[in-house]
Amino acid sequence: MFLPKYPDSPTPPPVHTHAPADPVPVRRTLPAVHISPAVVAAVVVGSVVLTALLASVAVSAISVATAAVVLRSLLRERNRR
């Protein structure tokens, strides 16, 4: 029922009559990019500033969380008395 049907006479593979030509590799050179020292300095300063901002946000979040825990414990003790 699900058996494949094969052709009665197999066809031979096609015959190539021409030889393939060897392709010549194309050499492409990248344009010379000159990066100014001012651009490098600007990128370094920008990354330092962004890192400092991220660190300050993290420190602020930790201090707010600590203050919230301290206030919660103080209010809990006050309500128990």
- What percent of the chain stands above pLDDT 70? 81
Residue 23 counted as domain residue: no
Residue with tokens 């052709």: 7
Residue 14 counted as domain residue: no
Query: 12: which 2 tokens?
Result: 């031979």
Residue 25 counted as domain residue: no
Residue 19 counted as domain residue: no
pLDDT of 57 > 80? The answer is yes
Count how many Cα atoms sit within 13 Å of the Cα of residue 15 in the half-sphere of its side chain: 2
Rounded Cα distance between 73 and 67, Å, is: 10
pLDDT of 81 > 80? The answer is no
Segments forming the whole domain that contains residue 66? 44-81
Q: Is the pTM of this model over 0.85?
A: no
pLDDT for the residue 8: 74
Q: Mean pLDDT over residues 11-15, rounded?
A: 71
Residue 36 counted as domain residue: no
